[in-house]
Homo-oligomer: A and B are copies of this chain.
Amino acid sequence: MKDRNSMDATMKSVNETIDLLLNHRSIRKFTDQPLMPEQVNMIVAAGQAASTSSNIQAYSVIAVMKEELKKELARLSGNQAYVHDCPVFLVWCADLSRLKAAAEKHQPGQETYEGTMEHLIVATVDTALAAQNAAIAAESLGLGIVYIGGIRNNIAEVADLLGLPELVYPLFGMCMGYPDQQPDLRPRLPQEAVLHWNGYDASASDKQVERYDEIMSAYLRERTGGAKDTPWSELMADKLAQPSRLHMGQFLRERGFATR
């Protein structure tokens, strides 16, 4: 096992599950081997077993296997070919529509609070926890995945294409299939930048980011034969300076989320 971080280099193999977690890499190239619907059933069952806030289970997932549909979603996601090429493309959606239907059934006319920021966050977290469980289940079966935030590029078109009703929004996609590549593990931030004890220590962060800048520059240099070595913090600065999906707030409000 090639280790992810310098910190991990001291770790011995602990158990199958932790080894699997530490070995995650995003897969963007898949073999032609198809996935059976039963495999998707099992993977989604593992997703459903994740924690959910007060058991509200505020998510749905669309498994896309139709060629034409995958092709269209690839186009809408910024022309990412692997969205089309993967055997199954899962679209994970935050979904408060079941709760709203329950309220209309049992308490018609009663004021309800699905349109709060709190409920947007709860539904978004529920969706992410289920999706991550599914990702791990898939990887434990020898499959590979990559999350696709690009489905938010044209989120209204994606929602319409998949027939999403009010109070359902596509959070991210997930390509899934048998890996046809084995990318290097990308180092993460030194743990000292991320983990704090008994209180937030902002002073630790700057020094650790400098350390990480060096680690990532060296990593990029090695991988690109010297062609690239932009430090992480510079990449992040560039990223934050770019307007990205400025339509999200308005789109969510139009679909009934975070209206108050």
Q: Report B-chain residues with C-beta under 8 Å of the C-beta of A189.
A: 48, 57
**CB contact under 8 A between A116 and B249, given known A22-B49, A236-B98, A241-B110:** yes
Instruction: Pick from A5, A53, A107, A249 the residue with the most CB of B within 10 Å.
Output: A249
Main SS at interface, chain A: helix
A64/B198 in contact, CB under 8 A? yes
Stretch of A28-36, A74-82, A128-136 at the chain-chain interface = A128-136
**Interface flags, A85-109, vs B, CB<8A=1, else 0:** 0000000010001111111011100
Q: Report B-chain residues with C-beta under 8 Å of the C-beta of A128.
A: 124-125, 128-129, 132
Q: Report B-chain residues with C-beta under 8 Å of the C-beta of A26.
A: 51
Interface residue from B57, B121, B131, B147 paired with A188 (Cβ < 8 Å):
B57
Stretch of A6-14, A176-184, A221-229 at the chain-chain interface = A6-14
A50 within 8 A of B: yes
Interface residue from B69, B102, B194 paired with A44 (Cβ < 8 Å):
B194
Q: A162-B200, A163-B200 are in contact. List 9 more A-B contacts (CB 8 A).
A: A4-B48, A17-B17, A17-B136, A63-B196, A101-B205, A102-B232, A106-B233, A116-B248, A118-B248
